[in-house]
């Protein structure tokens, strides 16, 4: 058993084991963790509660609503303003109200006046997952284009096909009272012999966008707005950085499009590049301790080994299907294997990853979005941006590691990807739960590093006690 040391808050934590000592037994003291303020019941969001949803059926009165959260100055959803005050056109206001938005969120309130002012100024904007960044940049694109000019005027790049499609659906919904025309820059969308794009807003992925630009199907002479969603990922030299830079370099030399970078995370190693990519930008930044949202309760389960992880996931199935859940694995083959095994055992799950072809990917995410599938087993491909409000549970079957990003031997946890993964739940003030599976000394230590980096406790749930597990989930989702 590990010895304990008191932390600054007066809670007990295990002393890190000396190198080489078996720390798998160094389990976290439950009582100490339980006493953490994070574990106190927190306000419930005004999410729709389905009658069959026992877990989220509250035993006490739900007294705090989304409107209350938007009135709380400490909430990332807080705003002192209305959309009218932000000077948005009537047609766009109608689109926004049709989406059910009554007030801007904090990032919208802060970013929109800067984004919409003239002359256009670049923006590097950071705000927690699920706080409404998409609406901020979509509104900017829709506000800046000339609907009478039938040429591409705004480009938005996102890291995945699924995210590009989601952003497009926001463009179309928000712009439904305008004459906006849109086109995708995603794989297999346009035929090889496609003629010039006349749509004003193009949303896509960098590879396809480069192809369209090179073939001059996408004429970029009139581009006024260039948006990177998940910008830190889009600019990362270990990821899409080269391709994104190529897109920018294909814009005319004298082009001075407004460059807008948004993400929930901007790790130090991309900040300098971001500043160079979007020169003289207005910046909205988060402090390290603000990175993850309060409404996501983080748990972990200490499994014996890899096989035990699978057993536990199967045992969790009932809980996973109460709302919807996303299970993140390191490898595509793990996602497929788990999904095949669970399916063979009579459970209903779907798997989604980058090795599937475009139409299959679209069909899988659409079915999940429509609630036809409740459990999605996937890889980092949908770790970022995907907004499905019914997702109330995220499982890190494998913790995200840096070596998946840069293919190095770096076995440290990938904090940014962790933040994005758990951010698939707890959207816009709703409640969510994340569960990390750890199964040996190494993964336990990796989880500790995540805990330290985020400054939030990750609470232990016993793997042998399903009742306790359900109890904790209930409390977290209340």
Q: Which is nearer to ligand ATP, 96 or 476 (CB)?
A: 96
400 binds ligand ATP (CB under 6 A): no
130 binds ligand ATP (CB under 6 A): yes
Q: Which is nearer to ligand ATP, 152 or 385 (CB)?
A: 385
SS3 of 240-254:
CHHHHHHHHHCCCCC
Choice from 43, 132, 426, 432 touching ligand ATP (CB under 6 A): 132
In DSSP notation, 370-421 reads TTS--EEEE-GGGSSS---TTEEEEEESS--BHHHHH-SS--SB-HHHHHHH
105 binds ligand ATP (CB under 6 A): yes
Given the rule CB under 6 A, which of 87-95, 133-141, 245-253, 321-329 is the region that contacts ligand ATP? 133-141
- Between CA 8 and CA 145 the distance in angstroms is 53
In DSSP notation, 87-151 reads T--HHHHHHHHHTT--S--HHHHHHHHHHHSSS---EEEE--TTSSHHHHHHHHHHHHS-TTS-S
Given the rule CB under 6 A, which of 8-16, 131-139, 146-154, 365-373 is the region that contacts ligand ATP? 131-139
Residues with Cβ within 8 Å of 246's Cβ and at least 6 positions away in sequence, in order, are 206, 210
Choice from 47, 110, 133, 472 touching ligand ATP (CB under 6 A): 133
- Between CA 430 and CA 432 the distance in angstroms is 7
423 binds ligand ATP (CB under 6 A): yes
Binding mask 172-211 for ligand ATP (x = CB under 6 A): ----------------------------------------
Choice from 13, 75, 129, 298 touching ligand ATP (CB under 6 A): 129
Residues near ligand ATP (CB under 6 A), total = 20
Choice from 184, 300, 428, 437 touching ligand ATP (CB under 6 A): 428
Closest CA to 163 of 267, 281, 262: 262
- Between CA 325 and CA 390 the distance in angstroms is 8
> Minimum CB separation from ligand ATP for residue 205, in Å?
16
- Between CA 139 and CA 93 the distance in angstroms is 10
Q: Which is nearer to ligand ATP, 427 or 456 (CB)?
A: 427
135 binds ligand ATP (CB under 6 A): yes
Strand order in the sheet with 258-263: 182-185, 201-204, 154-157, 225-229, 258-263, 123-126, 282-284
Q: How crowded is residue 457: how many other Cβ atoms within 10 Å of its Cβ?
A: 23
Choice from 387, 414, 448, 451 touching ligand ATP (CB under 6 A): 387
> Minimum CB separation from ligand ATP for residue 209, in Å?
19
- Between CA 152 and CA 220 the distance in angstroms is 7
Q: Which is nearer to ligand ATP, 419 or 435 (CB)?
A: 419
SS3 of 149-183:
CCCCCEEEECCCHHHHHHHHHHHHHHCCCCCCCEE
Which residues within the stretch 253-282 sit at the binding site for ligand ATP (CB under 6 A)? 264
Which residues within the stretch 75-104 sit at the binding site for ligand ATP (CB under 6 A)? 101, 103-104
Q: Which is nearer to ligand ATP, 260 or 461 (CB)?
A: 260
Which residues within the stretch 282-341 sit at the binding site for ligand ATP (CB under 6 A)? none
Which residues contribute to the site for ligand ATP (CB under 6 A)? 101, 103-105, 108, 127, 129-135, 264, 385, 387, 389, 423, 427-428
């Amino acid at each position: 058993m590990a010895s304990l040391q008191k932390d600054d808050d007066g809670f007990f934590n295990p002393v890190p084991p000396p190198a080489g000592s078996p720390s798998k037994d160094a389990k976290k003291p439950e009582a100490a963790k339980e006493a953490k303020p994070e574990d106190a019941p927190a306000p419930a969001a005004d999410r729709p509660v389905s009658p069959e949803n026992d877990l989220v059926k509250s035993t006490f009165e739900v007294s705090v609503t989304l409107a209350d959260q938007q009135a709380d100055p400490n909430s990332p959803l807080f705003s002192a303003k209305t959309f009218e005050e932000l000077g948005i056109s009537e047609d766009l206001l109608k689109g926004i109200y049709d989406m059910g938005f009554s007030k801007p969120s904090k990032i919208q309130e802060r970013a929109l006046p800067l984004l919409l002012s003239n002359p256009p100024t670049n923006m590097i904007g950071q705000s927690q997952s699920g706080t409404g960044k998409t609406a901020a940049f979509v509104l900017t694109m829709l506000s800046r284009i000339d609907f009478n000019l039938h040429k591409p005027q705004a480009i938005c790049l996102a890291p995945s096909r699924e995210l590009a499609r989601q952003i497009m659906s926001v463009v179309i919904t928000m712009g439904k009272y305008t004459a906006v025309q849109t086109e995708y820059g995603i794989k297999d969308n346009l035929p090889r012999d496609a003629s010039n794009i006349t749509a004003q807003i193009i949303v896509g992925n960098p590879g396809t966008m480069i192809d369209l630009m090179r073939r001059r199907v996408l004429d970029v002479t009139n581009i006024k707005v260039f948006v990177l969603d998940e910008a830190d990922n889009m600019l990362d030299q270990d990821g899409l950085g080269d391709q994104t830079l190529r897109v920018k370099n294909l814009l005319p030399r004298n082009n001075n499009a407004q460059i807008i970078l948004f993400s929930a995370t901007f790790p130090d190693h991309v900040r300098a590049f971001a500043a160079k990519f979007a020169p003289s930008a207005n910046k909205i930044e988060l402090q390290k301790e603000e990175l993850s949202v309060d409404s996501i309760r983080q748990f972990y389960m200490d499994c014996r080994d890899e096989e035990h992880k699978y057993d536990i996931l199967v045992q969790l199935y009932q809980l996973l299907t109460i709302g919807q859940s996303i299970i993140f694995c390191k490898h595509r083959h793990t996602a497929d294997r788990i999904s095949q095994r669970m399916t063979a055992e009579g459970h209903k799950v779907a798997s989604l990853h980058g090795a599937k072809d475009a139409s299959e990917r679209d069909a899988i995410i659409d079915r999940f979005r429509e609630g036809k599938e409740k459990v999605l087993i996937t890889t980092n491909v949908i770790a970022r941006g995907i907004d499905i409000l019914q997702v109330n549970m995220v499982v890190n079957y494998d913790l995200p590691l840096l070596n998946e990003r840069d293919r190095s031997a770096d076995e440290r946890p990938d904090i940014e990807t962790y933040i994005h993964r758990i951010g698939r739940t707890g959207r816009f003030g709703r409640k969510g739960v994340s569960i990390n599976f750890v199964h040996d000394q190494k993964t336990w230590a990796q989880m500790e590093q995540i805990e330290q980096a985020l400054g939030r406790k990750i609470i232990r749930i016993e793997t042998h006690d399903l009742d306790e597990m359900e109890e904790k989930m209930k409390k977290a989702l209340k």
